[in-house]
Amino acid sequence: MQPTVYQQADNPAIKYYQGQLSGQTITLWVADIFALTAKDIGSIEAVYDKAALIALPTDMRVKYSEQVRKLSSDTSKVDGANNEITPQLLLTLNYDQRKKNGPPFSINGDQLEQYYSDHYQIGELASVPSSIGSVSDITVTEHVWLLSSK
Phi (first) and psi of residue 146, to 5 degrees: -110, 120
Q: Which helix (H) or strand (E) holds 68?
A: helix 58-71
Residue 125 clears pLDDT 90, i.e. is over it: yes
**Who wins on pLDDT, 118 or 76?**
118
Per residue in 72-109, pLDDT tens? 875 544 444 445 678 999 999 999 999 888 899 999 99
Q: Note the helical H segments in 14-57.
A: 38-41
- Is the torsion defined by CA of 116, 120, 121, 126 positive or negative? negative
Q: Which helix (H) or strand (E) holds 25?
A: strand 24-30
pTM for this predicted structure: 0.81
